[in-house]
Amino acid sequence: MSHFQNENIENNNAKKKLSPFQKLSSAQEALKKDILEFCKAHQKDEHAIFVIEGDAGTGKSLVINSIFNDLQCMARSCQDEDCFSGKENYLIVNHPEMMKLYTNISEDFPYIRKKDFERPTTFINKMNKLEKRADVVLIDEAHLLLTRPDKYNRFNQNNHLEEIIKLARIVILVFDEKQVLKFKSYWNKNTLSEILNGFPVETFYLTDQFRMHANADVLEWIKNFCSKKVTTFPKKQNFDFRCFDDAQEMYALIKQKNSQCGLSRIVATYDYPYRLDGKEHFIDEGRFHLRWDLSKPDEKLPWAERPDTINEVGSVYTVQGFDLNYVGLILGPSVMYDAQADCLRLDPTRYEDGAAFTGKDGLAQPEQVKEQIMLNAINVLMTRAVRGLYLYAHDPALRKKLRQEQLLRS
């Protein structure tokens, strides 16, 4: 179900969308109330966990940030012990672009400070060194937490979530198994259940769609595509959904939309070479020639919100968690259409995200997981758009199939 909101899309930036002052829906408000009651009920317990599940665009991050603002307000201004006066709370996210966003939000709210936000490994190492425990830890994008040691991230234990639970009385986490992108952070509902087994746990499912101002048939089409089925395009509607035979033509329209309403970008599946070597790496598709996003960890604004990134191609890592008004998605060489089987065919050997498939130890079916990770990345990329989604496929057979299915729509 999609809930269209009357908003000026020029103001559709992430800082405003995630602001604790943003109005919640009745379901989100009820969830927030339940979680605050959960925190009060368990504030003297050893451990308790609340899980928020929901697809992309259901407002999970908005709810968690609104709760965090209330908790910090009570911790820093309320004298009543029952309402968390003096408690030590943190919000954790394992996503550098989202971390920038949360840090920026903290500037506008007197009870939230930059030091309240941590990356998971930093939090774990700090709390262990200080021999301290937090009262409440909120985890956004918990599906990005590590599920194995990672020397690159200086994480020596086995599982981020397991360690965070040890270091907090109450953990509130946001989880979507369809947004898992790497072997080293491979989660599904079973692995989550194993970690949470033995603790008091409550789970809530957010179902209403707030990002994509589209009818249910668009969401269903994306769901089918991410299940390897290419179906007839949804009927024409206000949400502008179409495919292109020319990536440069698609880019021209994205630039036009960006000049009209902002927050319109080209993104691509991770099928084009890219290295963190400070050099520019380009994506070429016919007449289309544009560089991958440049790594700028010191930039204050997230990639999705910097004006200069209209001249770049974003990856799943730069846009995960963010809203864009219009998205032009290039489906690269790893995504093909098998006409004989009438389904998508994925080729992991053409997926250029080497880090995604590093460390398969302990995975029962690594080849199957590779395919699921690739489909998850497509799901994340397809669910960023508020007003319109445009597709271009590198594979000629897929391009032809998309064109045929677009012609069949009513």
Task: Give the per-residue pLDDT at 82.
Answer: 61
pLDDT per residue as tens digits for the range 79-130: 666 668 899 999 999 999 999 999 999 898 899 999 999 999 999 999 999 9
Residue 7 pLDDT exceeds 60: no
C-alpha separations of 299 from 113, 140, 306, 381, 384 in Å: 19, 21, 9, 22, 21
pTM (two decimals): 0.94
Q: What confidence score (pLDDT) does residue 360 get?
A: 84
Least confident range from 2-16, 168-182, 310-324: namely 2-16
The tens digit of pLDDT for each residue in 278-302 reads 889 999 999 999 999 988 888 999 9
Q: Please tell me whether residue 386 adopts helix, strand or coil conformation.
A: strand
- Residue 265: phi, psi to the nearest 5? -145, 155
Indicate the pLDDT class of residue 9, thresholds 50, 70 and 90: very low
* Mean pLDDT, rounded, of the chain: 94
Query: Which pLDDT value is given to residue 6?
Result: 40
pLDDT value at position 104? 93
User: Is the pLDDT confidence value at 406 over 50?
Assistant: yes
- CA 149, CA 140: separation in Å to the nearest integer? 20
Quick one: pLDDT at residue 81?
60
Q: How confident is the model at residue 152 (pLDDT cuts 50, 70, 90)?
A: confident
Homologous superfamily of the 9-206 domain (CATH): P-loop containing nucleotide triphosphate hydrolases (3.40.50.300)
Share of the chain above pLDDT 90, in %: 86
Which residues, listed in sequence order, are joined to residue 392 by a DSSP beta bridge? 244, 330
Q: Which helix (H) or strand (E) holds 71?
A: helix 60-77
pLDDT in tens, 26-45: 999 999 999 999 999 999 99
The mean pLDDT value for 157-185 works out to 98
Residue reference for tokens 């829906």: 25
At 9, list the tokens: 């899309």
| Dist. CA 253–CA 289, nearest whole Å | 15
Q: What local confidence, expressed as pLDDT, does residue 12 receive?
A: 56
Retrieve residue 287's tokens: 């007449």
| Of the listed ranges 20-24, 156-160, 404-408, the one predicted with least confidence | 20-24
E strands, 78-132, where? 89-93, 117-118
- Domain boundaries along the sequence of the chain: 9-206, 216-407
The answer to whether residues 304 and 312 touch, using CB atoms and an 8 Å cutoff, is no
Q: What is residue 19's predicted lDDT score, i.e. its pLDDT?
A: 81
Q: What three-state secondary structure class fits 350?
A: helix
Read off the pLDDT of residues 312-352 as tens digits, 9 standing for 90 and up: 999 999 999 999 999 999 999 999 999 999 999 999 999 99
